Amino acid sequence: MKGIRTFICVVTMLTLRTLASDITPLVFGGFTEGMPAAFGDFNSDELTDVFVVLENNKAVEILLAHEEEPLLRQAKDRLRCVFSNSHITSVVPGDFDGDALMDVMVTTTFKRTEQDTDTTSLTNVYILWGGANHLNCTTDEDSPVIQMIGQPLAMDYNQDMIIDLFGQNKKKERMFWIFNKDRSVAHTAIPMYDNISREELSRPHAHAFLDLNHDYMADLFITTPTQFEVWLGHENEPKFTYNNTIKHPENSKIIGQSLFVDVELKGSMDLVTPVCAEQQSNGNCKGAALMVYSEGQWINLQVNFKDDAGNLWQFYLKQGSRYTNVITLRSGDFNMDGYPDILATLAQENVDHPQSFLLENVACQSGCGKFKRSYAIKWTALSPFRNGTAMAAFFDFYQDGILDCILVTYNGTHYQAGAFKNSLDYDANFIKVMVLTGLTNKHSQMINGRVGKKRRTYGTNLPGPSISYKTTTQEGNLRHGVSPQMPQSAHFSLNLPYTIFGLGRTPNFVDSVTVGLSNNSRCWTQIIPNSQMVVIPWPVNQAWKWKAQLFVTPSKLILMSVAALTAVCGMITVIIGVLHWKERQEDKKERLSESHRFHFDAM
């Protein structure tokens, strides 16, 4: 027994080495010029590719993901388009023509430089049509598909799995732009049904497309300069009807980008908004706070922005800067305990040196009212990236279900992409779910899949589905988590096309996983932990026909159990062998002495 314990100790010690590390060369292989702008699986090989902006915001390129290092590489036939006269402001991958292959929407402005903050200039929208392995760059930069004010939100207005856009046209009217299968026919523009005149949309905005009232129909969350509006989605016209308004938190001069997170892990989305109580004379943030909207009121989560040395930090905000011209939060479960954590970029007051930190979701100690959770800044969680980072976003580099980070370092003059491997040994389980459009393409149904096999493509990134799970914890409590898939797309929100739920240490199966979209839903029961689930919701209105493909990754705990078991078996075999040998020796002796006795008796 002691031997087994020692053995387990050694194994645990070996795996407990905390190897949190900088894996930039292993990921980018020396090419760190590209600034991450969006994620999506461009070539349908089930690995998430990274869309980057480079050449001083004049070019967009796709870095294809591979299973071997370097993990992100430029394609042999470069998937790259240049906009020589404009400035790229966002990149949104999605299928804009229903051929099941990913296209890329790029928005630009005609402003000359990054410092040009003229917000009245029009946003130009281009669609770069994608084939499985190539990208058709736009030939005419002077004739964008759409011109609008502010960036669009990618959504699906009519549930046909073809991405549509929501935004504000040149007359500042709220519009939906509907794309169809025929690329040559211009998209149709439908004004938002409304009977009173409303405020214009805020710029930058944090509009979101997600289900807020649990009817599996994605709703619309709209941001305006003074408030938020909730519009409920419907299957029939009018597609969206106004429901209610949420006033911005009081006493806040600056409102950052809102985010929807299941903070308390109770199966409903909370609206989380970073705010600043004051604005410094240079426009920067002062008096940072994290607010959450719960049961009709704003609650300050009382995040402590003072580090161990007593320095006070703020959300970093600088007009005209890359990534930090708005306050953006990104959520994901970093430590796999089920509670979604947050990445944010902060800076000390009056110090122009941004730094991204992990805000861990922890139990609230005091001052959160009825709210049970809060966030604690983990000052060293992302070390060695500790001296200047403009942006950090979650990404799963090795498809092992543990969220790593993709970062952009900034030393005052240069931006560079970086990669951080989250190898703190949480030894926890996860479940990863990705919902695709489910569209197929007759002309290229088969492609080379991940394991050399020919696998069908089932379409691409889909905004709007809601994904939830129910499970029983080791303590016997019921746990219910929910997450929207790709609810936001503009302003480098960098949403992942999949959701990873941390499950903590659990020996149990996940009771159920439910995926809902377009007023339909399907529930899968008894899912093995550490499964990666790809959901193909087709046909949309026949949920019982939806398919799910499961890939199972054995957890470290299971591997350790197997190793320990093998060791125990080996040891038992040895012990049995030794005993057996001893017994035989004794038998021999006995027989010898018996024969002696026999002799003796015979005499």
State the residues that interact with ligand NAG by CB under 6 A: 129-131, 136, 195-196, 212-213, 215, 217, 230, 234-235, 241, 243-244, 387-388, 411-414, 519
Quote the CA–CA distance of 107 and 192 in Å, as a whole number. Answer: 22
CA 57 from centre of chain: 24
Tell me if 339 contacts Ca ion by CB under 5 A.
Answer: yes
- Residue 136 vs 593, nearer CB to ligand NAG: 136
The sign of the dihedral angle between the CA atoms of 465, 466, 471, 474 is: positive
**Which pair of structure tokens corresponds to residue 294?**
């719960």
Closest separation in Å from C-beta 414 to ligand NAG: 4
Q: 459-518: which residues touch Ca ion (CB under 5 A)?
A: none
Contact partner, 333, from ligand NAG, Ca ion, none, Cβ < 5-8 Å per class: Ca ion
Closest separation in Å from C-beta 522 to ligand NAG: 14
Closest separation in Å from C-beta 3 to ligand NAG: 47
Taking alpha carbons only, the member of 432, 513, 504 closest to residue 475 is: 504
Closest separation in Å from C-beta 287 to ligand NAG: 26
Closest separation in Å from C-beta 502 to ligand NAG: 26
Q: What angle do CA 136, 183, 132 make, to 5 degrees?
A: 40
Segment holding 533, helix H or strand E: strand 531-536
Closest separation in Å from C-beta 161 to Ca ion: 7
Stretch that binds Ca ion, among 57-65, 191-199, 338-346, 380-388 (CB under 5 A): 338-346
What distances in angstroms separate CA 361 from CA 45, 265, 332, 346, one per listed residue?
Answer: 33, 10, 10, 17
- Residue 41 vs 396, nearer CB to ligand NAG: 41
Taking alpha carbons only, the member of 68, 69, 75 closest to residue 52 is: 75
**Which pair of structure tokens corresponds to residue 235?**
């299957």
Closest separation in Å from C-beta 131 to ligand NAG: 3
Tell me if 46 contacts Ca ion by CB under 5 A.
Answer: no
Contact partner, 335, from ligand NAG, Ca ion, none, Cβ < 5-8 Å per class: Ca ion
Segment holding 245, helix H or strand E: strand 240-247
- Residue 276 vs 462, nearer CB to Ca ion: 462
**Which pair of structure tokens corresponds to residue 19?**
């190897």
Closest separation in Å from C-beta 129 to ligand NAG: 4
Contact partner, 270, from ligand NAG, Ca ion, none, Cβ < 5-8 Å per class: none
Question: What residues form DSSP beta bridges with 479?
Answer: 471
CB count within 10 Å of CB 30 equals: 8
Contact partner, 230, from Ca ion, ligand NAG, none, Cβ < 5-8 Å per class: ligand NAG
**Cβ contact 588:580 at 8 Å:** no
- Residue 93 vs 418, nearer CB to Ca ion: 93
Contact partner, 188, from ligand NAG, Ca ion, none, Cβ < 5-8 Å per class: none
- Residue 61 vs 99, nearer CB to Ca ion: 99
**Which pair of structure tokens corresponds to residue 368?**
């959160």
Tokens 């009232």 locate to: 213
Say which amino acid occupies 487: P
Closest separation in Å from C-beta 196 to ligand NAG: 5
Closest separation in Å from C-beta 14 to ligand NAG: 31
| Binding residues with Ca ion: total (CB under 5 A) | 21
Stretch that binds Ca ion, among 11-19, 138-146, 359-367, 541-549 (CB under 5 A): 359-367
**Cβ contact 437:511 at 8 Å:** no
Closest separation in Å from C-beta 535 to ligand NAG: 19
Quote the CA–CA distance of 527 and 507 in Å, as a whole number. Answer: 12
* N-term to C-term CA, the chain: 50
Quote the CA–CA distance of 220 and 223 in Å, as a whole number. Answer: 10
Contact partner, 131, from ligand NAG, Ca ion, none, Cβ < 5-8 Å per class: ligand NAG
Examine residue 529 and say whether the peptide bond preceding it is cis (omega within 30 degrees of 0).
no
Contact partner, 93, from ligand NAG, Ca ion, none, Cβ < 5-8 Å per class: none
The sign of the dihedral angle between the CA atoms of 170, 174, 179, 180 is: negative
Quote the CA–CA distance of 519 and 215 in Å, as a whole number. Answer: 6
Phi, psi for residue 404 in degrees, rounded to 5 = -100, -170
Helices then strands, counting H and E runs in the chain, come out as: 3, 41
Quote the CA–CA distance of 201 and 228 in Å, as a whole number. Answer: 10
SS3 98: coil
| Per-residue contact flags (x/-) with Ca ion for residues 210 to 229, judged by CB under 5 A | -x-x-x-x-x----------
Tell me if 261 contacts Ca ion by CB under 5 A.
Answer: no
**Cβ contact 486:467 at 8 Å:** no
Tell me if 109 contacts Ca ion by CB under 5 A.
Answer: no
Stretch that binds Ca ion, among 270-278, 323-331, 335-343, 385-393 (CB under 5 A): 335-343
- Residue 54 vs 104, nearer CB to Ca ion: 104
- Residue 212 vs 347, nearer CB to Ca ion: 212
**Cβ contact 275:292 at 8 Å:** no
| Per-residue contact flags (x/-) with Ca ion for residues 123 to 162, judged by CB under 5 A | ---------------------------------x-x-x-x
Contact partner, 337, from ligand NAG, Ca ion, none, Cβ < 5-8 Å per class: Ca ion
**Cβ contact 236:225 at 8 Å:** no
Taking alpha carbons only, the member of 388, 384, 382, 452 closest to residue 416 is: 388
Quote the CA–CA distance of 45 and 66 in Å, as a whole number. Answer: 9
Taking alpha carbons only, the member of 372, 394, 203 closest to residue 292 is: 372
Task: Give the burial string for 127-148 (b: 16+ CB within 10 Å, else e).
Answer: bbbbebbebebbeebeebbbeb
Closest separation in Å from C-beta 550 to ligand NAG: 28
Pairing, β 531-536 against β 429-435? parallel
Contact partner, 156, from Ca ion, ligand NAG, none, Cβ < 5-8 Å per class: Ca ion
Stretch that binds Ca ion, among 100-108, 243-251, 287-295, 428-436 (CB under 5 A): 100-108
- Residue 249 vs 516, nearer CB to Ca ion: 516
Tell me if 268 contacts Ca ion by CB under 5 A.
Answer: no
Closest separation in Å from C-beta 219 to ligand NAG: 6
Contact partner, 195, from ligand NAG, Ca ion, none, Cβ < 5-8 Å per class: ligand NAG
Contact partner, 264, from Ca ion, ligand NAG, none, Cβ < 5-8 Å per class: none
Closest separation in Å from C-beta 241 to ligand NAG: 6
Interacting residues toward Ca ion by CB under 5 A: 95, 97, 99, 101, 103, 156, 158, 160, 162, 164, 211, 213, 215, 217, 219, 333, 335, 337, 339, 341, 361
